[in-house]
Amino acid sequence: MGHALHPKEPKNAVRKWDGKTPYGVHPVWCAMTVLTEELLPESCRIRLSQALLFHDFREDTDDEVPDSVEDGVSALVDEMTFRSSDDEMENLWSRSDETKLGKLYDKTFNFLDNSWMSDERKAKHAAHLRRLCDVVQRLYGTLNIVLIARGVLHKLDVA
């Protein structure tokens, strides 16, 4: 609800590709998708799904992560927060493996609605997504999100 009720800017309430789709579909998709990963321990799926629900709060809203969220989840939200996409592309690799995993869900969804990106930005984000796939697959195995991300990259002829 933070994006709908407390966006820092009106544009943060909707997705960029059409300016109409509620932003909330993004964190919900990420959270629900991680819950389907049979290869991940249940505790990881639950913690990461909760963090993914709030992962853009600090960047895009004036809302706060609820106090009822466990400290470990709130810390993961902090670790998933970056100043910009360039900051993320440079500094993600020094963060925890769980943060890298969470960012793969985030970046995969973002690439699903990339029509607003310039060709240069799309290529830059595709390279980042490809690297994330490689790292996550090495760390966690061939998860559904790895297959989805590689499929999206292949479909867009940027694999």
pLDDT tens digits, residue range 32-79? 999 999 999 999 999 999 999 887 766 655 567 677 778 889 899 999
The residue written with tokens 């995993």 in the block is: 101
CATH number, domain of 145, equals: 1.10.3210.10
Whole-angstrom Cα distance, residue 152 to residue 147? 9
pLDDT tens digits, residue range 78-96? 999 998 889 999 999 999 9
Check residue 20 and give its pLDDT.
Answer: 67
Kindly provide the b/e burial profile for residues 111-149, where b requires at least 16 CB atoms within 10 angstroms of the residue's own CB. Answer: bbebeebeeeebeebbebbeebbebbbeebeebebbebb
CA distances from 158 to 24, 28, 128 (A): 27, 26, 11
Full-prediction pTM beyond 0.75?
yes
Domain count, the chain: 1
136: containing domain: 2-155
Give the N- to C-terminal CA distance of the chain in Å, as an integer.
34
